[in-house]
Structure 1
Amino acid sequence: MRFVLIGAGRVGLRTARVLHEEGHDVTLIERDEATAKRARNQGFTVVDGDGSQETLLEQARVEDADAVGALTGDLNTNFSACLIADHYGCRTVLRIDEEYREEIYRKYADVVDEVIYPERLGAMGAKNALLGGTIRAIADIAQHLQVVELTITDEAPINGYTISELQLPADATVLAFGKIDGDLEIPTADESLESGDRLVVLADFAVLSDVRQIVVGETAGRTGAEIEAETTVEDTEANTGGTN
């Protein structure tokens, strides 16, 4: 997938790294020269300038992007970028800095697909908001390990199986199971797997797409995910003008 991120500060650059590590194509827009240089030194393509300007977004090839993440500390810049990105048919993710503003933007901004607070969610939350989909990441355990919660769908190959019949890749294991609207518990072998039930799985990043195909029914290799990260990072900078 291809992403355009507005802002190459802490939030933007961390998000870019995570997306890049998963094989996605990322272009950053940044107006601060030193911040842009840092991102370039890490191998990223950077367009210099104000991400709220359509000409800059066009330079970043917004027309080819799957999603645009407006991740600066400037709310006006972020909202303007989302307005433009929506015009080009992109998924839009808007960073805000004050929780009370979320209700306002959800009520009046149909162009915004997801509103995030990086101070709570961090790069993983921003990344997963950009991806969209059907999987909820709970935590990164190590560099290549992640705990995810997956909801079984009607199309899932395992729908109708039992826990004992479930065969995941070697680098994945079930940690917990929950019936639809029920609590998560340690699974038992004879539990039936039905649409709406949830599995919590520890998996290597390399096999996550295979796990997704088995449990959710999505095509192997698809990277879409609906993830609300429960981890937080220390990121309280609120610089304006395209940084952070």
Structure 2
Amino acid sequence: MRVTIAGAGAVGRSIAGELITNGHRVMLIERDIAAYEPASVEAAEWVLADACELSSLEEAGMQLCDVVVAATGDDKVNLVVSLLAKTEFAVRRVVARVNDPANEWLFTENWGVDVAVSTPRILAAMVEEAVSVGELVQLMTLRGGQAELVETTLAPDTPLAGRPIRELALPPEVALVTVLRANRVLVPGPDDTLRPGDELLFVTSAGMQPRIRSALRLPETVLPATE
């Protein structure tokens, strides 16, 4: 897979290193000469250019990329890069970094964003996930807010203890994808039974949280991580 990363700061370089380790081809675009350090990620292709300029992206070959990651420290730049990648180069997957949670509402498909990643929101969600038992926590949004990754840990007194997963009245728009039990990662089957302490991960269409809570018999309190 060929990936372009706009922004070669600490975040961009870290992403590039991980992707290269996993066997992907990476191009880093950086406009600030002070941050242009090819020796820091030698296996990446480096381009000194402004990722907000269409001509620079054309010359760099963004049209050949499978994924674009807008990872600069400026939300305005990340939005412009995302929009150009999707509308001008038809990039299949665009991931954008959100620096200020107040701007998160802008990072949608209207700006070409498939996945918005807000570090403050994710960290807050991880804190909530760690301390919240018997609550529904939204970990992140996908597809520009059209889908969500949500989690809950079954309380010790859950009424679902011992019940098979097939008895959960989940709507078709909700998929239980993983059950984390102690040190095990389980791919849930319809006849698997639930236990107190199980951590359930769901991928769901937006707006399904009330129906998930009803199916899991959870209280009305919700801990949203991305609002």
TM-score, normalised with respect to structure 2: 0.53
Report how many aligned residue pairs link the two structures: 145
Q: Per the alignment, in what secondary structure is the counterpart of residue 85 of structure 1?
A: helix
> 2:95 maps to what in 1?
93
Higher relative contact order (CA 8 A, sep 6+): 1
- Label 1:183 to 1:62 Cα distance change in 2 as closer, same or farther (>3 A): farther
Structure 2 partner of 1:191: none
SS of the equivalent of 1:52 reads coil
What letter matches 1:97 in structure 2? N
Q: Percent same amino acid at aligned positions? A: 28
The change in CA–CA distance for 1:183 and 1:72 in structure 2 (over 3 A counts) is farther
Gaps of 5+ in 1: 123-128, 130-135, 137-149, 153-172, 188-196, 199-244
- Residue 16 of structure 1 and its aligned partner are, at CA, apart by 0.3
**How far is the alpha carbon of 1:48 from its aligned partner?**
0.4
Match of residue 59 from structure 1: 59
**Secondary structure, in 3 states, of the residue corresponding to 1:58?**
helix
SS in 2 for 1:100: helix
Contact 1:28 1:46 in 2 (8 A): yes
Q: Contact 1:4–1:60 (CA<8 Å) still a contact in 2?
A: no
The whole-number CA distance in structure 2 between the counterparts of 1:53 and 1:97 is: 21
CA spacing shift, 1:32–1:110, aligned 2, 3 Å: closer
User: AA paired with 2:36?
Assistant: A
Question: 3-state DSSP class of the match of 2:14?
Answer: helix
User: 1:174 offset after TM fit, Å?
Assistant: 4.9
Q: Work out the CA distance in 1 between the residues paired with 2:25 and 2:194.
A: 38
**Can you list the C-alpha shifts for 1:93-119, whole angstroms capped at 9, x where unaligned?**
12111223222333x725111111245
SS at match of 2:36: helix
Q: CA separation in 1, counterparts of 2:195 and 2:23? A: 32
1:22-37 superposed matches below 5 A: 22-37=22-37
Query: In proportion to residue count, which structure has more strand?
Result: 2
Q: 1:160 — aligned with what?
A: none
Deviation at 1:121, TM superposition (A): 5.3
One-letter code of the match for 1:151? V
RMSD value, Cα: 3.6
Q: Answer with 1 or 2: which has the greater Rg.
A: 2
TM-fit CA distance, 1:178: 3.9
Letter of the 1:80 counterpart: V
Structure 1 length normalisation: TM-score?
0.50
Q: Which consecutive unaligned segments of at least 5 residues does structure 2 have?
A: 124-141, 143-148, 150-175, 202-227
**Shift of residue 74 of structure 1?**
1.1
CA contact (8 A) 2:97 2:117 kept: yes
Q: Extract structure 1 runs of 4+ deviating beyond 6 A.
A: 184-187
